[in-house]
Structure 1
Amino acid sequence: MMTDTLDPPAPSVDPGQPANLNACSLLHPRREAFEYGLLPIPKLVFTDPIQTLAPLKQKLAAQSPNHRVDSASLADALQISIDHAKLVLDTLSSVLCSDSDPLVRAKADETDSVGANVRDLVLFLYIQSYKKLLPKPHKDSHAVADVWPSTSAFDGYLSALSPLQLVRSNSRRFMPSQADEEAHQLSYLQKHMANIISLLTESSEGEDEESQVLTVEHFEHLGLLIRFGDKELEGTPLSQAAPFFANSDPDMPAAPVPITQVHGWLLENIACSLEHISERASPKENGPLNTSDQDVPMSDASITSAKSAASSKGLCFIEGISKSSFVKQSSDLKGSSVKVLNCHDSAIYILAPLRYATVYGCSDATIVLGAVGKVVRIEHCERVHIIVAAKRVCIANCRECMLFLGVNQPPLIVGDNHKLQVAPYNTFYSQLEEHLAEVGIEANINQWDKPITLGVVDPHDSLSHPAGVSDAQAESATSLDPDLFTSFLIPDWFGGEHTGSTKENPFPLPNAYLESQQRNKNNLEEIKQALGNAPLADTRKRELSNALHVYFKDWLYASGNIRQLYCLQGD
């Protein structure tokens, strides 16, 4: 069995197998597991995963006749808190590949009664040892400086781990390209595939690797980590794309296959896929790919700044929007996931049902995300207002951001954050309730004010960290003062062309915020009535009007609502 430190063995295939076993099928890592499934909980990061997880799997399976694990059993087995165990199950649920799994379909209060499949759970725990690629500096540092101010109130006293120092100015760091990340994740899987497969077998004590086999049912659990990318195989169950299980009858499942055969076939196709990624990537734009496993810096690469959205394998990119507005609805998106990258001083609206969303490296922007059924991750952002309805949200390494949330699970706050504020969801658009229902978000459950805060240091980050800070507690978020709460109006660009049933915010407001909203509305009516009845001469009315315009303009800039006016400009 391969250990954590050995290089992967050369792919080997039994020469007696049919010729199609050697045919290359493009494999892709399931980026959702790596981008949204890593939890910075030190007790989940094992120095030798296989030595810990193999006996853990046996223990958990023995305790549960149906091979499903609840949070109490997991907390006891890993010696973690019950809250962290529940977080593990919720996070696993959000990255499982099959929406038919009982854990995915469970309501918020049913997670423990349903539990997680043991094999899915141990694979999920295994990849907690994955280290992400080092971020890379932008090649055009001067262009970055134009949109990221060079000074901040936080400059001069932040720690070495400050997101400002990590992501700003000449040392500004950018998310690796999709090709770089995919190659790095595939390389990790290549190195650890023998261990991963062994966790799926029904091995007996003392049984050697040569005699271990894998059933079609257990092979399917690899779908958490990999998928096939060939066009003719898109959407095909993992086992049906594998030659040793293909075309098997569900009523008469295929015979179990030796794990050495499965391992050899997977390694061969991973190697083929890595070669394909390397050939596909443009050396001019990205530099040579770095496919090595942990602890090796990636090559420099620049993210294209373009006022457009491009989709790739169900993923839509919105990049480099600056001093403008940007609107996308369901019909404009080809994928079910969105990444909003490096947008500044703009208003961005993604009014669509989504599965996953990432907001990365944005500043001084207002971003509205429609309904996100799995996870939203917000990372390395500054002075951003984000309005989102989602199953769950994770905020990492952000500062001075305000988040108006409609979330079914407690917000997760990780890393080095400063001056975050959270508030209840505060807007709507005509199709919002249809989109919420489509992705499975319950509007009557909103846990916006129950954030879970983990440590400052992310053990999955390849950046080195000063000694002694690994257990430092991250700064949490404060709740917005109800007196400062206002509703956000989304412009109707389409003139009622896309009608829906939503006429108001579907998330119930807490009493304090509801009273504040009503009080502000009453105050506005009183002011309008007082101004209308004021016995003023025409010149005094003009002076009053000019003064109000000045104050209104100052308020627009101070509050950031000036971005709303971008929607009235031509793009």
Structure 2
Amino acid sequence: MAETDETPSPATKPSPSPAYIHPRREPFEHGLLPIPKLIFTDGTQTLGPIKDKLLSFSSESTYRVNPESIAESLQISPDQAQLLLETIACVLHSVSDPLVTAKPSEIGSIGVNVFDLVVFLYIQSYKRLLPKGHKDSAAVADVWPSTSAFDGFLSALSPLQLARSNSRRNMPSQSDEEAHQLSYLQKHLGNILSLLSESVEGDGEESLVLSAEKFEHLGFIFYFGEKGSEKILLSQNAPFFANSDPNMPAVPAAQLHDWLLHNIASTLEHITERASAKENGPTSAPDQDVPLADVSASTVNNSSSPRGPNFIEGISKTSYVRKPNDLKGSSVKVVNCHESVLYILAPLTYATVYGCSDATIVLGAVGKAIRVEHCERVHVIAAAKRICIANCRECVFFLGVNQAPLVVGDNHKLQGDSSHGLP
């Protein structure tokens, strides 16, 4: 493609971005499925041919594929293909995509865009950040689930052991997780771009180009924006596409790769500087993007950042209520709460319950997904589109869900009353 004189070359002088680039938390926290056939560790070697096969099943105008085509291309069961579609619908970035607003009965007929599916499949190889090891982890290995093959986040400690050992400091912070996700994307960005690219005359990477439309599929894993700001389309932040004609020719993938790597490096540097400032400041200072406040001798975060969840953390031996006016944003994480009753009575998009014990947790309507992980003797009362339960013990669930609960990992003695029932 002939490049105009006005287009800067990121390989020599990357264009400044109006804001830092960030990974979307949703696909990494709610979009990973424990299906071995969906985990590709050889980059594009296998996914490239799979993409071509999926495209052969799709319409040239929409690039959408149905569960039957997905099952055949990936050699998975129809039920797994349907689960894959339901998961993508919960973490998809484009609110205008019909899959996002589809009723459960319509998901199969609507299908998914092949390029969204390919990005989703690629990140199935991502492993979440591990906590630091515990000095006596061998002693608890027999009484609590070990690290999951599909999810590297689990500690060897039970929730109560975690609380009593004061090991919360060993848990990854929001900044740690964001840096880990960015580092993963930084490493694999070239492969992901090649899967979205088209080949023109010539050989090798220089022949790969990306249109603005294909570039937008990276919105599945990235976005630009800061606290309090509106998320902007990726192509409107890229100097190659911003305010350009929709019919503008495609841009060399290598240039986009360099430009994105520059932005990722800038964000990682910013995260490092922020962590350094924290270490050199008061020992009790929280992450700058995770402001904390003491409530009933517990640690609670009511972050107003639209890109970060509200944290409700460390509630112990008390009743706790949060209403819509108490929360900013649409995501909540309930972490390390024990012997308490918590009412989160606000409309949410995503919710996570992690490392809690001997508690009752009531979650107001959750529009997308709930993840309950590493909990014991917890009662969860919730209405949601879907729920994933991972590595829990002696928990009871009272659920109103649109889709059957997904139960993965090493679970013991779960009970539940659900509109779809627990397996």
Q: TM-score, normalised by structure 2?
A: 0.84
Q: Which one of 220, 225, 229 corresponds to residue 229 of structure 1?
A: 225
| Structure 1 pair 286–245 and aligned structure 2 pair: CA distance change class (3 A) | farther
* Cα pair distance change 1:243/1:181, threshold 3 Å: same
Aligned match of 1:120: 116
Inter-partner Cα distance in structure 2 for 1:164 and 1:276: 28
Larger gyration radius, structure 1 or structure 2? 1
Residue matched to 1:239: 235
Cα deviation code 1:47-76 (max 9, x no counterpart) = 203111111111111111131111111111
Query: What's the counterpart of residue 343 of structure 1?
Result: 337
Code of the aligned partner of 1:311:
S
Superimposed CA distance per residue, residues 433-476 of structure 1 (whole angstroms, 9 cap, x where no aligned partner)? xxxxxxxxxxxxx32x1x4xxxxxxxxxxxxxxxxxxxxxxxx5
> 2 CA distance for matches of 1:21 and 1:172?
42
Question: Is 1:372 equivalent to 2:369 in the alignment?
Answer: no
- 1:103-148 deviation digits (Å, cap 9, x = unpaired): 1111111111100000000000000111111123689x9xxxxxxx
> Deviation at 1:172?
6.1
Deviation at residue 423 of structure 1 after TM alignment: 0.7
- TM-score norm. by structure 1 comes to 0.63
Task: Work out whether residues 58 and 65 of structure 2, in 8 Å CA contact, stay in contact via their aligned partners in 1.
Answer: yes
Q: Equivalent residues in 2 for 1:80-229 (5 A)?
A: 80-136=76-132, 165-167=156-158, 169=161, 170=165, 175-203=171-199, 207-229=203-225
Q: Give how far 1:155 is off.
A: 9.1
Letter aligned with residue 298 of structure 2: A
Checking the alignment, whether the CA contact within 8 Å between 1:330 and 1:352 is kept in structure 2 is yes
Instruction: Tell me how far apart the structure 2 counterparts of residues 393 and 107 of structure 1 sit (CA, whole Å).
Output: 16
Q: Percent identity among equivalent residues?
A: 59
For residues 21 and 74 of structure 2, the distance between their equivalents in structure 1, rounded to whole angstroms, comes to 32
**Aligned mates of 1:205, 1:397 — CA distance in 2:** 51
* 1:208-287 alignment runs, 5 A limit: 208-230=204-226, 234-249=230-245, 252-281=246-275, 282-283=278-279
Distance, in Å, in 1 between the alignment partners of 2:147 and 2:232 is 43
Would the aligned equivalents of 1:165 and 1:171 in 2 still touch at CA under 8 Å? Answer: no
Q: Does 1:329 align with 2:323?
A: yes
For residues 522-558 of structure 1, what are the alpha-carbon distances to aligned partners after superposition, in whole Å with 9 as ceiling and x for unaligned? xxxxxxxxxxxxxxxxxxxxxxxxxxxxxxxxxxxxx
Deviations 1:363-417 (A, max 9, x none): 0111000011111000011100000000000000100000000000010001111
- Is 1:311 matched up with 2:307? no
The alignment status of 1:79 with 2:103, answered yes or no, reads no
Q: Distance in 1 between matches of 2:134 and 2:252?
A: 47
Count of aligned residue pairs for this structure pair = 388
CA contact (8 A) 1:365 1:384 kept: yes
Are 2:10 and 1:13 aligned?
Answer: yes
Helix, strand or coil at the partner of 2:198: coil
Q: Which has the higher strand share?
A: 2
CA RMSD of superposed structures (Å):
3.0
Letter in 2 for 1:203: S
One-letter code aligned to 1:166: L
Task: Supply the distance in 2 between the matched residues of 1:14 and 1:189 (Cα, whole angstroms).
Answer: 19
1:39 aligns with 2:30: no
Aligned AA (1:266)? L
Q: Letter of the aligned partner of 1:79 in structure 2?
A: Q
| Structure-1 residue corresponding to 2:53 | 59
Q: Which amino acid aligns with 1:88?
A: L
Shift of 1:158: 6.2
Offset at residue 247 of structure 1 (A)? 1.5
Q: Which structure 1 segments of 5+ residues have no match?
A: 1-11, 142-150, 290-302, 425-445, 452-475, 477-571
SS at match of 2:232: coil
Q: What SS does structure 2 have at the residue aligned with 1:368?
A: strand
Residue 521 of structure 1 is matched in structure 2 by none
Structure 2: gaps of 5 or more residues: 1-8, 149-153, 288-292
C-alpha distance 52-286 of structure 1, shift in aligned 2 (>3 A): farther
Contact 1:20 1:243 in 2 (8 A): no
Amino acid across the alignment from 2:387: V
Residue aligning to 1:147:
none
1:352 aligned counterpart, secondary structure:
coil
Contact 1:137 1:172 in 2 (8 A): no
